Amino acid sequence: MADKTRRITNWGNYPAIRAEFIAPESSQEMRAEVLRHSRLIARGNGKCYGDAALSTCVLSTMKLNRLLDFDREKGIVHCESGVLLAELLEHIVPAGWFFHVTPGIKNITVGGAIASDVHGKNHPEKGCFSNWLLSFELMLGNGEILTCSKTEHADLFWQTCGGMGWTGIILSAKFQLMPVSSMFMQQRTVRAENLEAVFQAFQTHDNWPYAAAWIDCLSEGLYAGRGVVYFARHLQKADSPDAPLIYPFGKVRNIPFFAPSGLLNRYTIRAHNWLLFNRAADGEQQIDVDRYFYPLDRMRNWNRLYGRRGFIQYQFCLPEENSLQGIREILNTIRQNPDLPFLSVLKRHGERAPEAVHSFPIKGYSLALDFPRTATVFSLVEKLDAMVWQFGGKIYLTKDACSSGKMGRINPAEFGDAKFHSLLKERILANQTSG
């Protein structure tokens, strides 16, 4: 293991910094580095979008990647924190198990899933990753290792779930899986002519466990906020195509180079939106789980479509009673600005565990927006921050790169060891001081 300084950026390619990057190969090596440095942050596979896993010293968990135990009867996984969800699929699926909660990409680490307390398309039914997390080992700033669960060091357990790595280094974790008998989903597609129809579709089909919608942020007038809502449920073996219980990794295409910075503009985005809406067909079909849960993973390096300048993802959640009005006004503000989102995903969320104080979702709706990074997008984020705050909402810190420090509704000064410090934490604390 050799120390070296390198240029590091996360998935949004903004911001980029030069930092000491260390990849310990064991918990003993990790402890030595934790004791040696006064400021550091853990980093998994770098799939967070903004500045959450960036610091003057970055300790990578990618070499802590062993599957320690898999109880095939009970569906309990025990693995090191650097294991990818994609790697676990190869083991758990043939045994008849899947994740209770998974985000929209599978190439994230288990440690990252805990630090972000990731959610999926079934939040009203299954909640966040922490709902199914049994325990984890956490290395503190003094090198001590604690086993944390909902009954043992419970306060530290909940601080760490969604705590963005500020409590310590997650070394390993145990979590519960969900039984499945097929790798196919029954998907129902509903085209909605405007935002009100999108919300109505969510309510009408609330008996489907999985739901997410694409929103056309450029549509106007009677069609403002139109979209396509995708519902799904797991098929049982008797009702699915005759196929072995092997995870269906789809064919992956690669974006080999950074696209020209001007590729995504008002005209190309409008054309893209027209195609997405008009190619969608109402009705039901059977699709495999990889296609439903992880469509973005079928395009390797898709972040290069935004060019070398990178992109800003802005994901916010509003309380249910304010969601329709708030999202309608936010979309109207976006249409009046030069910066337009290329991708947009709307999800519905249910109640969260009262202990999960750092989890992103609140009961209501979230909207994720991907904006090409320009000189003017930061002023748009300021406008969106003010509107989200006005409607009682919050943003997802895992996706944040430039929002006001209060927007995550977390004060990092109130918990954790000051040693575990990221650019995100620094930005939030500086903003609170100046504000």
Q: What is the CATH number of the domain that holds 13?
A: 3.30.43.10
CA distance 222 to 227: 13
257 in any annotated domain: yes
Residue 343: pLDDT over 80: yes
Tens digits of per-residue pLDDT, 239-274? 878 778 999 998 899 999 999 988 999 999 999 999
**Are residues 122 and 202 both part of a single domain?**
no
The two tokens of residue 15 are 């911001």
432 in any annotated domain: no
**Are residues 220 and 323 both part of a single domain?**
yes
The two tokens of residue 413 are 């000064």
pLDDT of residue 433: 65
Which residues sit opposite 346 in a β-bridge?
Answer: 213, 367
Q: How many CB atoms are located within 10 Å of the residue 284 CB?
A: 10
Counting the structural domains of the chain, the total is 3
Average pLDDT, the chain: 95
Of 181, 209, 236, the residue at which a domain comes to its end is 181
Please name the residues in contact with 325: beta carbons below 8 A apart, sequence gap of 6 or more: 391
Mean pLDDT over 51-77 rounds to: 97
Question: What is the C-alpha end-to-end distance of the chain, expressed in Å?
Answer: 42
Mean pLDDT over 380-405 rounds to: 97
CB 336 within 8 A of CB 203: no
**Are residues 176 and 195 both part of a single domain?**
no
How far, in whole angstroms, is CA 265 from its chain's centroid? Answer: 25
CB 152 within 8 A of CB 162: no
pLDDT of residue 431: 81
- Widest Cα–Cα separation across the chain: 61
Percent of the chain with pLDDT over 70: 99
Question: Could you say which DSSP state residue 52 is in?
Answer: T
pLDDT of residue 415: 78
Q: How many CB atoms are located within 10 Å of the residue 71 CB?
A: 14
pTM score, two decimals? Answer: 0.96
Q: For residue 168, what are the domain limits? A: 67-181
CA distance 45 to 6: 15
CB 124 within 8 A of CB 348: yes
**Are residues 292 and 365 both part of a single domain?**
yes
Q: How many CB atoms are located within 10 Å of the residue 365 CB?
A: 25
CA distance 325 to 308: 35
418 in any annotated domain: no
**Are residues 113 and 161 both part of a single domain?**
yes
201 in any annotated domain: yes
pLDDT of residue 1: 46
Q: What is the dihedral of CA 25, 29, 34, 38, to 10 degrees?
A: -100
**Are residues 226 and 97 both part of a single domain?**
no
CB 80 within 8 A of CB 24: no
pLDDT of residue 240: 79
Residue 326: pLDDT over 50: yes
CA distance 177 to 372: 37
Q: How many CB atoms are located within 10 Å of the residue 52 CB?
A: 26
435 in any annotated domain: no
Nearest partner of 323 among 203, 188, 189, 404, judged by Cα? 203
**Are residues 223 and 371 both part of a single domain?**
yes
**Are residues 84 and 167 both part of a single domain?**
yes
Nearest partner of 27 among 81, 95, 98, judged by Cα? 81
Residue 91: pLDDT over 90: yes
**Are residues 211 and 325 both part of a single domain?**
yes
CB 123 within 8 A of CB 348: yes
Measure Cα distances from 118 to 32, 232, 300 in Å: 29, 19, 21
User: Long-range CB contacts (< 8 A, 24+ apart) of 69-76?
Assistant: 70/95, 72/97, 75/176, 75/177, 75/178, 75/179, 76/134, 76/174, 76/175, 76/176, 76/177
269 in any annotated domain: yes
> Which amino acid type is present at position 20?
E
357 in any annotated domain: yes
pLDDT of residue 253: 93
What is the CATH number for 215? 3.30.70.2520
pLDDT of residue 242: 79
| Strands 41-43 and 57-60, bridge-based pairing | parallel
pLDDT of residue 315: 98
9 in any annotated domain: yes
**Are residues 165 and 239 both part of a single domain?**
no
**Are residues 232 and 345 both part of a single domain?**
yes
**Are residues 49 and 94 both part of a single domain?**
no
Quick one: residue 113, left, alpha or beta (phi over 0 = left, psi -120 to 50 = alpha)? Answer: alpha
What is the CATH number for 177? 3.30.465.10
Mean pLDDT over 340-361 rounds to: 95
Residue 212: pLDDT over 50: yes
